[in-house]
Amino acid sequence: MGNIKAQLAEIVRGTIKNSEGFNPAFMLMA
């Protein structure tokens, strides 16, 4: 499960970089 969390963190970081108006609710889920 640690790997899944690491992958989610990378995806969230990439999405934030690509989208300035990112949804904060998704960050709370991750």
User: pLDDT tens digit string along 1-30?
Assistant: 578 888 888 887 877 666 655 566 566 655
Res 27: pLDDT? 60
Q: Quote the CA–CA distance of 5 and 29 in Å, as a whole number.
A: 11
Q: How many domains does the chain have?
A: 1
Q: Would the pTM count as exceeding 0.75?
A: no
Residue 23's domain comprises 1-30
Contacts 24+ apart (CB under 8 A), 26-30: none
Q: Quick check: 30 and 24 in contact, CB under 8 A?
A: no
Q: Quick check: 22 and 15 in contact, CB under 8 A?
A: yes
Res 10: pLDDT? 84
Phi (first) and psi of residue 9, to 5 degrees = -60, -40
Q: Quote the CA–CA distance of 6 and 15 in Å, as a whole number.
A: 14
